[in-house]
Amino acid sequence: MGQVVVISTGGTIASRWQGSGFAADAAGGDVLATAPVPEGVSVRVVDLMSVNSARITTGHQLALLRTVREVLADPAVDGIVVTHGTDTLEESAFFLDLHHDDPRPVVFTGAQLPLEAEGGDGPRNLHDALLTAATVRDLGVLVVFDGKVHAARGTVKVQTLAADAFADPSGTRVADVTADGIEIHRRPERPAPLPLPAAEGPLPRIDVVMHHCDGDPLLFNAAVGAGAQGIVLVATGAGNATPEICAAVEAAVSRGVLVALTTRVSTGPVAEIYTHGGAVDLVAAGAVLTGTLRAGQARIAVLSAALATTDPAARADVLRHALAAPAAAVPVAAA
C-alpha cells in the first residue's frame, strides 16, 4: 500500500502504571509494537512528545501542525497517523483539519485502555488508523476509533471509558473499517484550509465560559480582564443567556474580543430564536454562532482566527470562514 508515518504524542495508548495512576511514558515504537501492521504498509515513527492530553497546549498543537507539514513534504509518504490522548483529541484533530491542505490523510487515534492492558483497544485502533492512512484520500483529518472513521469537524468524545469513544452527535461517520478495507459512506466538505500560523509571536488566550441558572457576567468579564482575545460562550438551549451577559458580550466585542456562541446541549445547532438575552440578542451584540460545533472545537476555531490576524474585524471573518460547515455532506455513490 505505502508508507505511513506515526507521530506519537502520548495519551492512554502510550500510558503505563506510575504507582498511583496511569500516565503517558511509552515511546512511539513501543506503542507500534503492540499493533498488527496492515500488509503492504511500511511505518516510520516520529516521537514528538509524550503527555497526557489534558496537558496539551496551543504550543503543542502548533508543533504537531508543523511536524505534519514537514512529514508531508516527503512525496513518498502516503499518510500520517497521530497517536493522541482522548481527552483533547477532538481539539487537536480539528485544529489540524482547519489548516490541512494536502489530499493525503492525517488520522488521529488513541485508546481507552492503557498500553499493557489485557484486551486493550489500542492495538486494533492503531491497525485501523494505519490502514485508513494508507488507503484513503481527500477526506481531510480523520478520527479512527472502534472500527469507525469520523471527520475531525464535529467529532467529540462521547464516552468517558467505553471503547466506542468518539462520534459526531449532530452528524454521521465517514466510513467503517471492515474485513475488506475502508468502506466510505460520505466525503465531508470542508472550507478552504487556513494558512500555517506564524512561527513567532505570543500565543493568544482563548477562554470558555458556561452559562447556567443564576449565571452572571462575572466569569465572562474575568476572562476579558485576564486578557482573553477570544471567548467561547457556552449558552443554554439553542444559544441563550441573559440580558446582562449580552451587555458583557457587547462590551467585550467593542474592545476587540472575538466572541463565539455555542451550547451545552449535546446535539443540534445554535440558532437565533429567542430574545431577552437569547441568541437573537447575543448575535446583535457581536457574538458569532458556531453551528453544531461544541465548546472545545469552537474554541479551536476562535484560536485559529486569532492566530491568523490581529485585526478584530478580520478575525471575525476568519472565524466565520472556519465555521463554514457545509449544508450537507457529499454522499458516496453506490458501486
Residue list for the binding site: 53, 86-87
- CATH number for the domain harbouring residue 147: 3.40.50.1170
Do residues 126 and 212 share a domain?
Answer: no
pLDDT of residue 203: 96
Is 196 inside a domain boundary? no
Helix axes 58-72, 89-99, angle to 10 degrees: 50
Residues 169 and 35 in one domain: yes
Long-range pairs of 308-315 with CB within 8 A, sequence gap ≥ 24: 308/194, 308/195, 308/197, 312/253, 312/256, 312/257, 312/258, 315/230, 315/258
Confidence of residue 199 (pLDDT cuts 50, 70, 90): confident
DSSP 254: H
What pTM does this model have? 0.95
| Average pLDDT of the chain to the nearest whole number | 95
3-state secondary structure of 302: helix
- Residue set of the binding site for substrate: 53, 86-87
Note whether residue 217 is domain-resident.
yes
258 with 290, same domain?
Answer: yes
Q: Catalytic site residue 12? A: yes
pLDDT at 293 (0 to 100):
97
Same domain, 179 and 256: no
Residue at 312 is within a domain = yes
**Within this chain, do residues 274 and 141 fall inside the same structural domain, yes or no?**
no
**Is 330 a member of any domain?**
no
User: Does residue 22 surpass a pLDDT of 80?
Assistant: yes
Q: Which of 9, 58, 67, 86 is catalytic?
A: 86
Asked if 119 and 256 sit in the same domain, the reply is no
86 is catalytic: yes
CATH number at residue 241: 3.40.50.40
pLDDT in the model for residue 333: 40
On whether both 126 and 97 belong to a single domain, the answer is: yes
Same domain? For 181 and 291 the reply is no
Domain count for the chain, please give it. 2
Domain that holds residue 311: 206-322
Partners of 45 in the β-ladder? 6
CB 87 within 8 A of CB 93: no
Q: What is the pLDDT of residues 242-293, one digit of tens each?
A: 999 999 999 999 999 999 999 999 999 999 999 999 999 999 999 999 999 9
Distance of CA 13 to the CA centre of its chain: 18
Of residues 69 and 199, which shows the higher confidence score?
A: 69
Asked if residue 90 belongs to a domain, the reply is yes
**Contact by Cβ (8 Å): 182, 133:** no
Last residue of one domain, picked from the residues 187, 217, 236: 187
Compute the radius of gyration of the chain from its Cα atoms.
20
Q: What is the pLDDT of residue 335?
A: 31
Q: Over range 291-302, report the average pLDDT.
A: 98
